[in-house]
Structure 1
Amino acid sequence: MQQLNCTLIETFTLEDSHPNNVDPALKNQTYLSGGNRYRIATVLTERRGRPTGVVADIYVCSSAHQVKPTVM
């Protein structure tokens, strides 16, 4: 996150969610918090090897990730 010049704005805990809903819930909370990146810091619970409860750090990053152009 240092390379993207990010600042931690919130730590969010998601408990007892369906595995299919973890990513959408984190994306929604990131948007509601004013952030544009999140990182799962800790997986609290799993179901069949997929996270159902997590602690996530939400960041706001001032610079966009730069992708190297492909040469054709």
Structure 2
Amino acid sequence: MDQIIEEIRRYRDEYTKSHNYDLIEIYRDLKEKQEKSSKKIVSFSSKPARFFIKRENKLSSQVL
């Protein structure tokens, strides 16, 4: 396996283990780090979801 992938998986496991694999605790930790960071946070506006319907051998797109 790729050495970089192994390192990422090892770090990920150590990080989640340090938070007892608790997703809420991990979320709070990441949120706290984000708030302390001086980096600009970018959010993108959400777009309506699209789904495709097959009609008479043609696909048509519709917005939900």
In our comparison, the structure showing a higher alpha carbon Rg is 2
TM-score (norm 2): 0.32
TM-score (norm 1): 0.30
* Higher RCO (C-alpha 8 Å, min separation 6): 1
Whichever structure has more strand as a proportion of its residues is 1
